[in-house]
Each structure stands twice: as C-alpha cells, then as structure tokens.
Structure 1
Amino acid sequence: MDWDKLRIFHAVADAGSLTHAGDKLNLSQSAVSRQIRGLEESLNATLFHRHARGLILTEQGELLFDATAAMTRRLDTAFARIRDSEEEVFGELRVTTTTGFGTLWLSPRLPKLYERYPDLKVDLMLEERVLDLPMREADVAIRMKEPSQADLIRKKLMMVRMCLYATPDYLADHAAPRTLEEIKDHRLICQNTDSDQVGAGRSLVQHLMTQNIRSMLTVNNYYGVLQGVLQNLGIGVLPDYVTEDFPDLVQVLPDLTSADVPVFLAYPEELRQSQRVSAFKDFVQDEIISYRKRLRANSDS
C-alpha cells in the first residue's frame, strides 16, 4: 500500500482540485496528477470525474475517500495521544452532546475549563444524533442515556428530570394552573413528540397533550423552548438543571415531572491515557459536584 499516494488522493478529494491540493501539499499540479494517475492504475479504477469546474469523486473514489477519511481521523488521534504531555493539556478535543445540554449547561461553564487549560481547543458538536466514538467521530460524549457502543469507558454524571416552568411575569398575567386539567388554559412550549429527545421528556409531553391544550409552541431543542419561556409565551417543559442559571424561573405543578433521566459521559478505551480527555472529564465531574452541593444548600435553606 502506497501511503503517500493515499495521502495525496485524500488531499485532492478534500480540495476538489489538483491545484488546491498541490498548494496544500507544496507539490506541483503535475506531480499531484502523476500520483493520482499512478493510484488509479494500481487500482484499475477511475477515482475522479474531471470537468471544467473541478473534480468529482466516482463511486469507487467515494469508497476510497471514506477509508482515507477514517484513516486520517485515527492518525490524528494517534498523533494527539503521542503529543499528550503528562504535565500539560493542549490540542483539539472533540466533544459531542445534545443541543439542549450543550447550550444550557455545558457552554456557560466552559470559561472555567479554558481558565485551567488555555491551550485546549474544544470542538463542541451539538446534535441529537449519537456520534460513533469508536470510529473517532468524537473524543468524548455526554448523552442522556447510557451509551450502547462497545469499547467505551462510561461514567454516570447525574440524574435529570423534565419539569414545567414559567416566568414570574407570565404567571402574574395568567393564573398559574393548580391541577393538570387547568394546563389546557395555557400555551404549552415543548419539543415536538416526533423530534429526537429523551423518552422521559416525550412521555411527559404526551401526557400533557391528553388535556386538549388549545395553544402550543413546539421547538426541536430545549434551548428554543427556554427562549419561548423567557419571552413569556407560556409554560415550558425543560430539564431541571436550567434553574441554576435561570433562578427566577418558577416551577409549575411541581408534582408533575418526568421520570429520572441519567446523564453519562463516555469516551473510547483507547483514549484512557489522554491528558485532554482526563482534564475534560475531571472538569465536568467537578462542576457536577459543585452543582449538587448548591442544590443541597438551596433545599436546606
């Protein structure tokens, strides 16, 4: 296997141009073209369709590009692990979590992480899709259920519940519901039950919708739900951790909550010794411990 030809092929496929790939690799266009031609001859396959506006991968080229992309990710991970210092934390760390948790809980706390490790480069990927950690789509994941993928180290961080919240201004203008039946007189702000979300949150919303609610605002993530609540549009279904950063929110019908939702942190076994991963894991755990202490202090006061 000619690794140099594969490296050049990947650069060309990524750039879509021999010239741009050559500039990136510090090679002439003719040298890049020779390497691609040699690779195609060795594989007895055409890897690119050539046209005036650039290069497009053929079906065979797409297969090879998928393989070189996976190989590049694994090499980047290996290089990062090799560079990991026992005394310093630096380099890129790819973290994936849901949009709601990432925007409402994690992002507001990241300044503390950068204070500790100013040379860390966090790539925060917020999406409901579960990324494949063993395939190096991300380094660390924080998910609202226990990961099912093999070869992962996992740690339960905390339990979350979905509850009903409104602003004091909204409740001053609208009589707070005292029973489940009275929720139909208010606008409900929640995630659509067809959107990706934790099952406990979906079950709570489905239960509320049995009351024939007349007006609703549905959003595809909890950040959007929170914004609707803060604009006094109605009563929102939100995770209970939002109350720490938005202490003025009032819980409505406190006995009406979802089942507990576990929050897990996970990363691949091969990153067990990574200083970047260890630093992030310790930071999140410290923040969770502080969060729990504040909750206990508030409940005791």
Structure 2
Amino acid sequence: MDWDKLRIFHAVADAGSLTHAGDALHLSQSAVSRQIRALEESLNTTLFHRHARGLILTEQGELLFDATRSMTKRLDAAAARIRDSEEEVFGELRVTTTIGFGSLWLAPRLPQLYAKYPHLKIDLMLEERLLDLPMREADVAIRMKEPSQADLIRRRLMTINMRLYASPRYLAANGTPESLDDMGTHRLISQNTQSAQVSAGATLVRELMSHEIGSFLTVNNYFGVLQGVIHDLGIGVLPDYLAQDFPELVHVLPDVESNEVPVFLAYPEELRQSKRIEVFRDFVTEEVIAYRRRKRDSAEADAQ
C-alpha cells in the first residue's frame, strides 16, 4: 500500500476537509482529492461520505484511520528516539497526571527542569482520565495507583494521604474542632464522592459525611478545594503534599486521614532510551527525595 496515499488519507481524516488537509500538506485540494480517489480505487471501497460541511469517515475509513493513527504514533516515537540520540535534550515531552497533582505539586517545580534544559518543551496534560501510554496518548504519566499494563516501566515515587486542613483565619473565626463531633458547626470542603479521584480520598469523604456536618462545599478537583480553604470557606480534604508548599495551612483533626495512596511514574518500554524521559524521570525523582527529606525533618521537629 502506497505510504504517500496513506499519509494524505490520514491528514484528510484528521482534518475532516480536503482543503485543510491540503494546507497542512502544502498540496492543492485537487491533488489531495486525486490521491484519495486513487486509494479508494486500490482498496475497492469508499473511505469518506461527502457532504456540504466536510467529510465523514465510512466504517471502512474508520478502520483505516485507526491503522494510520497507530502507525503515525509509532513513527513519532521513532523520531523521538532518533532525536534523543543527540547530546542536547530538546523537543516535546507529553506528560499526563491528575489536575490536583499536576497543578499543585508538579507545575510549581518545573522551573528547575527548564533551568537545566531550556530547549525542552513540556506538554502537560492534566486530567483524571488515564491516557493510554502504549498507544502514545502521552509519553510519561504520574498516576495515583500502580499502572496495570505490562509493557510499561514504572517507578514508585512516594505515598500521600488525604487530610483535613483549614486557614488560620477560618479557625480564628470559627474555632478548631477537637473531634469529628465538632464538625457540626463547620463547613466541609471536598471533592464530590461521585467525581473522579483516588478511592482513598472518596472513602474518607464518605466517612466524614456520615457525621453531622454544618455545611458542605464540593468541587470536582483538589485545586478548587484548596482555593476554598485558603479563602477561609471551611475545612478541606486535601493531599498532605500541600503542607510543604502552603505552610500557612493548619492540619486539623490529625487522627483523621485516608489510607495511603501510592504515586507512580510510568512510561512505555519503547521509550526506555529516551533522553527526554531520562531527564524528566531524574528531575521528578530528585524533587521527591527533597520532598521526603523536608517531610521527615518537619516530622522530627514536631516530635521534639
């Protein structure tokens, strides 16, 4: 099968338009159309339904598009490995993690990585959905549970717990609860138990909601919960890694916390030799070691 025709087909299917695909490929619309017709003739099938608003893939077209998409991702991976064979670290690295961890822990630490590798381009994809690493939806992931796919290299970074935090101003105005029975006069800020989150966090929230709570504010991610807490709205369920970067937060009801949540870094086996993966992995590992050291020092200081 002619790769040039497949490349043009992929561009048309991706753009949904002969004109837009031609612009991307620097070809005229008529040239693109001729290549698509030739491909359809060679396969003896129709790949697109034509209508006034553009092109829609037929069932056969969808099958071919799945194949070309997989081929394109593998070619991108090969190109990345070739580029990474050079001494200089540059190019795009697609990193996926959760909204909370990505915005509250990872993003604030990225300046140190860019200081070492200014030509590296990070595409940070923050969402609760688990992207498919072997299918190259992302290059590397930081996940709040161990990946189940066998063809991934994974490294356990740390563990976190969900705990209760409030601002000093909120506690000064509303008092500090001494037990869960005192929560009847306070507002609880948390993720809704139906929203995507670590199961340990949802379990803790359900346990808290089984007690009498004065008022509720639910948000669909931890960044929103944090904003509610630092703006004095109530007592929030938040990951304990925030305590270092937001030292003004007051840990309340220390005996109330979730089970441990493991944090893993993972990437496809085929990217084992990637220098961009290597420098990102080492950067995150160094930051986690520093985080653990500060956490240990803080615990020892509190014990004295």
Fold similarity call, TM over 0.5: yes
Aligned length: 301
Counterpart residue identity of residue 236, structure 1: G
Task: Report the counterpart of residue 31 of structure 2 in structure 1.
Answer: 31
Q: How do 1:1-301 residues align onto structure 2 when only pairs under 5 Å count?
A: 1-301=1-301
- Give me the whole-angstrom Cα distance separating, in 1, the residues matched to 2:247 and 2:137: 36
Q: Give CA-to-partner distance per residue, 1:125-159, whole Å, 9 cap, x none.
A: 11111111111111101001111011111111011
Larger deviation: 44-53 or 270-279? Answer: 44-53
Tell me the amino acid that sits aligned with residue 63 of structure 2: L
1:71 aligns to what SS in structure 2?
helix
**Separation of aligned partners in 2, 1:24 and 1:67:** 20
Q: Distance in 2 between matches of 1:243 and 1:22?
A: 52
Q: TM-score, normalised by structure 1?
A: 0.97
Distance 1:92 1:144 in 2: 24
The residue identity in structure 1 corresponding to 2:73 is R
Q: Percent identity?
A: 74
Aligned equivalents of 2:172, 2:91: Cα separation in 1 = 50
Instruction: Report how far residue 60 of structure 1 moved.
Output: 2.3
Q: In structure 2, what is the Cα distance between the partners aligned to 1:208 and 1:20?
A: 53
SS in 2 for 1:178: coil
Q: Deviations over 1:96-147 (max 9, x none)?
A: 1111100110010011111111111111111111111111111101001111
Runs of 4 or more, structure 1, over 4 Å off, are: none
CA distance in 2, matches of 1:23, 1:180: 63
In 2, Cα distance between the equivalents of 1:105 and 1:226?
A: 12
d(CA) in 2 for partners of 1:43, 1:72 = 20
Helix, strand or coil for the counterpart of 1:193? coil
| SS at structure 2 position matched to 1:89 | coil
Residue identity matched to 1:77:
A
* One-letter amino acid of the counterpart of residue 42, structure 1: S
C-alpha distance in 2, partners of 1:283/1:65? 37
Structure 1 stretches lacking a partner, 5+ long = none
- TM-score scaled to structure 2, two decimals? 0.96
Question: What's the C-alpha RMSD, in Å, of the aligned pairs?
Answer: 1.2
5+ residue gaps in structure 2? Answer: none
